[in-house]
Amino acid sequence: MQSTDHLRATLNVDGSDYHYFDLNKLGDDRLINLPKSLKILLENQLRHFDGDSVNSDIIVAFSRWLDQPTGGEDLNFSPARVLMQDFTGVPAIVDLAAMRDAVAKRGGDVSAINPQIPVHLVIDHSVTVDQFGSPQAFGENVANEMARNDERYRFLKWGQSAFKNFSVVPPGTGICHQVNLEYLAQVVWSSDGVAYPDTVLGTDSHTPMVNGLGVLGWGVGGIEAEAALLGQPYSMMLPEVIGFELNGKLNDGVTATDLVLTVVQILRREGVVGKFVEFYGDGLAELSVADRATIANMAPEYGATCGYFPVDEATLAYMELTGRSSENIALTEAYCKAQGLWRHAGDQPTFTRTVSLDLNTVEPSLAGPSRPQDRVALGDLGEAMRDFLKASKRDLRESVAIPDMDLKLHHGDVVIAAITSCTNTSNPDVMIAAGLVARKARERGLRVKPWVKTSLAPGSKVVSKYLSDSGLQEDLDSLGFDLVGYGCTTCIGNSGPLPDPIAAAIDSKDMVVSALLSGNRNFEGRIHPQVKASWLASPPLVVAYALAGSTLLNLRDDAIGKDQEGKPVYLKDLWPSNQEIHDIRKIVSGDMFKDAYQDVYKGTAEWQAINIASTETYQWQEDSSYIRLPTFFDTPTVSGEEFPTLRGARILGLFGDTITTDHISPAGKIALDSPASHYLQSNGVSPAEFNSYGSRRGNHEVMLRGTFANTRLHNKLVDREGGYTLSPDGKNVISIYKAAMKYQESNTPLVIIAGKQYGTGSSRDWAAKGTLLLGIKAVIAESFERIHRSNLIGMGVMPIEFDKQIPQEMLDLQGDEGVDIISCDPVLAPKQKVRIILSRSDGSRHEVLGRLRIDTKEEMAYFRHGGILQYVLAELGK
């Protein structure tokens, strides 16, 4: 096949003609059985067919997939657009600005560094819950946000003026995924008379949330997103697709949060890392788009690339509710039906394998204390918390007096109760349920326990509108769930300080206390450095546990508290019926969405007052502690065809399973006694002005020092929690940063060795950038999470997996070993086998096999150039 022009067809919708690439014209009737997510990928290949990066071989591969649905062929995917949030977006724009500098130094045209597809950046990760529990909390938190992030926001405003196709949604608007779901996503686009599916790559791992609307998209690292917006296709492999069948209907009182925690547990056990998940079955008809989006949002938590829901009547209803144009809705319906993307009752596509769930079996649940996949039934939480305390070697009877309060703090007490994160605040049912629990508790005279920090951070202003119009916000306010901001807040680690008396009580006896949040992430050290147990829960359960004040209670059976008459009040007394929720949900209207988004790019008066100079290249400030010119492009090199043999490397860190990107590159608080703290203070930044690691991602000096600096990191080489390792001589315990710098003085290459699921969590490019800048040449693990593996390659770091028969425990590593990595084949090639040779201090040697996890030819090209952005620069220079 020389071209795909013969596959064009015309679709007439309400008198308007649209051209599209018709899958039916391929002449293979079996393609009707492809999963709908793969049909979107196939259409993408037809539309971007060039005979080179996309050729007839990959088109044929889709037909072969039906015979053997395991995938594996290289695929170059070109998304319709890119979505960013500010924590990941700022370093991405810093890289683009640095690339413009590099082009300018070579005498090139700096405008070549410009987005080739639409890019939306939503500022949503920078608001911190400093103030809470008062009507003034929102205004004070916003003021603090603007003051802390003035330099970052000026930089983003410069980017908006300097780059075409780049739009910034100002702070105080909402969470990027909810804004994407409610406003940005179009389901079907039309451009120059051609209709095609909306697809998106996002620099946040929860980008799949929009899969609930029938839009295919997933999270990637910032460096991959930068390449995509610069016109480079995203290199991937034709995936396996796991079909997840949903049947039945949720019982009264069971929420979409309970459902998603159940799905996460099932799919983690199933093993879907690097795979697509597509939902099907008649149970989908019982789920609204908001319910579907809740499930799709947590695709990273169950490890999948995406969690796709096909387009159907519910999709159109949601588009109409949220104010999409009638033309777009009509085109979406006509196109999806013509292209075979429409969900019909009884659809049974071909899948790699299937799992199923009867919705009737889902029960109220939470997840924790540190992993989203560890679901706990509501009635079992108390016992789960007791087990956690026993494992932590704590006496359950221990308590400590709270200074200046006639109260005691106990192990298991709830100190943070946060309704936050896109996972749930995009779903009116669970938000209304939270408000109704608050209303009924208020009527019974219940109060939140005084040691609980409460907060409400909706994902969009629409939430505030329907809570206000229904009177539920007043009920939430009465319990301290006042509006604190529009953003991720607690879920990203911006939970803010605990009140001084509570913080002092925790520290006095190292109390093990809990956080309850309606988010999607609860990894160690993420929510708050003083909180060791974090539990994911639905918004109404967050309210209930704030009232109860402890996670040692069994709220299925135990009383939450006593009312004004001294009678016990149980959760069943406060929990609303589905009918009660439905009666209030009727007020949610399209006008609410239209009003919320009519001036979406305008921002507050403070945002509008930010003045910037309109220049093609950025004017870097030498004294800036937020935005610095990175060093990635200083010495661009291209390796040869041979494998880059590594000799005499040393082990910087030896880690266990499920090391997250939060462990590698924390987003939250900068600890006072840390390399990043020392750097900032030496540059005149006081601890009160530290802000967070996430906000400082535009400064490589801070982020380099913050790599492997999580306070909950466990390096097996040392008996000390935090970012520590052995000194090069093996005699002392020092910071990982300090050790890496000492190794660099002697030009000693470094490696990381880890267990399963290395790099779980957020699509955090600094977890790879910091790894590179520390001098780490290879990460050797039992398995990798998808995004972080790609990010390592994107920065020129080798990801290597041990042979499946070799768990790292078998190696008996002490930390003083030398490490050689030699390929079994000297020619550098995808997925090649390598020899890992460990030289011990007693003179013995131990050799094991591994496999290079550079999977595609395109990834190999990126690696050979030292990274994906260096590759792009080289291509532009041709």
Predicted local distance difference test score (pLDDT) of residue 858: 87
- For 275: left if phi > 0, alpha if psi spans -120 to 50, otherwise beta; the answer is beta
Where do we find the tokens 């939902």?
Answer: 279
- Closest CA relative to residue 753, chosen from 693, 815, 804, 698: 815
Under the banding of pLDDT at 50, 70 and 90, the label for residue 876 is confident
C-alpha span between 390 and 819 (Å, rounded): 38
> Is the distance from CB of 243 to CB of 351 less than 8 angstroms?
yes
Phi first, then psi, for residue 827 (nearest 5°) are -85, 130
Q: DSSP assignment, residue 127? A: -
Beta strands of 686-759 (E only): which ranges?
A: 724-726, 733-735, 750-754
- Does pLDDT of 878 surpass 70? no
Average pLDDT over residues 706-723: 93
- Alpha-carbon distance values, 681 to 607, 684, 690, 709 (Å): 28, 5, 9, 17
- Does pLDDT of 638 surpass 80? no
DSSP output for 339-387 = HT-B--TT-----SEEEEEEGGG---EEE-SS-TT-EEEGGGHHHHHHH
- For 178: left if phi > 0, alpha if psi spans -120 to 50, otherwise beta; the answer is alpha
Predicted local distance difference test score (pLDDT) of residue 765: 87
Torsion of CA 98, 99, 100, 102, to 10 degrees: 90
Asked if 81-361 and 646-876 have one fold, the answer is no
- Does pLDDT of 49 surpass 70? yes
Give per-residue pLDDT as tens, 134-171: 999 999 999 999 998 999 999 999 999 999 999 999 99
Under the banding of pLDDT at 50, 70 and 90, the label for residue 665 is very high
Average pLDDT over residues 535-556: 97
Average pLDDT over residues 279-297: 97
Predicted local distance difference test score (pLDDT) of residue 55: 87
> Is the distance from CB of 742 to CB of 768 less than 8 angstroms?
no
498: Cα within 13 Å, side-chain hemisphere? 23
Predicted local distance difference test score (pLDDT) of residue 370: 94
C-alpha span between 371 and 389 (Å, rounded): 16
- Does pLDDT of 660 surpass 70? yes
SS3 label, residue 579 = helix
DSSP output for 29-68 = GGGGGS-HHHHHHHHHHHHT--SSSS-HHHHHHHHHHHHS
pLDDT, mean over the chain: 94
Distance of CA 752 to the CA centre of its chain: 23
Give per-residue pLDDT as tens, 234-277: 989 999 999 999 999 999 999 999 999 999 999 999 999 889 99
Give per-residue pLDDT as tens, 403-460: 989 999 999 999 999 999 999 999 999 999 999 999 999 999 999 999 999 999 999 9
Task: Provide the angle, in degrees to the nearest 10, between the axes of the packed helices 222-229 and 86-105.
Answer: 60
Cα–Cα–Cα angle for 768, 771, 775, rounded to 5 degrees = 140
Strand order in the sheet with 453-456: 375-377, 365-367, 533-536, 514-517, 414-419, 453-456
- Does pLDDT of 231 surpass 80? yes
Phi first, then psi, for residue 386 (nearest 5°) are -65, -40
Torsion of CA 659, 664, 665, 670, to 10 degrees: 100
Would you list the domain boundaries of the chain? 5-63, 81-361, 368-588, 646-876
> Is the distance from CB of 219 to CB of 208 less than 8 angstroms?
yes
Under the banding of pLDDT at 50, 70 and 90, the label for residue 526 is confident
Residue 685: which residues within 8 A CB-CB, separation 6 or more? 625
Predicted local distance difference test score (pLDDT) of residue 637: 66
Burial of 823 (0-12, 13-18, 19+ CB in 10 A): middle
- Does pLDDT of 690 surpass 80? yes
Predicted local distance difference test score (pLDDT) of residue 633: 78
Torsion of CA 130, 136, 140, 143, to 10 degrees: 150
Predicted local distance difference test score (pLDDT) of residue 825: 87
Q: pTM for the whole thing?
A: 0.88
Residue 781: which residues within 8 A CB-CB, separation 6 or more? 752, 753, 754, 755, 756, 758, 799, 800, 801, 802
- Does pLDDT of 589 surpass 80? yes
Residue 512: which residues within 8 A CB-CB, separation 6 or more? 388, 389, 392, 394, 411, 412, 532, 533
C-alpha span between 843 and 767 (Å, rounded): 34
Q: 81-361 maps to which CATH number?
A: 3.30.499.10
> Is the distance from CB of 869 to CB of 847 less than 8 angstroms?
no
C-alpha span between 215 and 544 (Å, rounded): 34
Task: Report, at the CATH architecture level, how domain 646-876 is classified.
Answer: Alpha-Beta Barrel (3.20)
- Alpha-carbon distance values, 506 to 517, 666, 692, 795, 798 (Å): 19, 22, 22, 40, 42
> Is the distance from CB of 297 to CB of 422 less than 8 angstroms?
yes
Give per-residue pLDDT as tens, 193-219: 999 999 999 999 999 999 999 999 999
C-alpha span between 280 and 586 (Å, rounded): 27
Task: Find out whether the peptide bond into 458 is cis, omega within 30 degrees of 0.
Answer: no
Under the banding of pLDDT at 50, 70 and 90, the label for residue 872 is confident
C-alpha span between 87 and 85 (Å, rounded): 6
Give per-residue pLDDT as tens, 794-843: 999 999 999 877 777 778 898 899 999 999 888 889 999 999 999 998 89
Give per-residue pLDDT as tens, 460-491: 999 999 999 999 999 999 999 999 999 999 99
Give per-residue pLDDT as tens, 301-344: 999 999 999 999 999 999 999 999 999 999 999 999 999 999 99
Predicted local distance difference test score (pLDDT) of residue 635: 67
Q: 368-588 maps to which CATH number?
A: 3.30.499.10
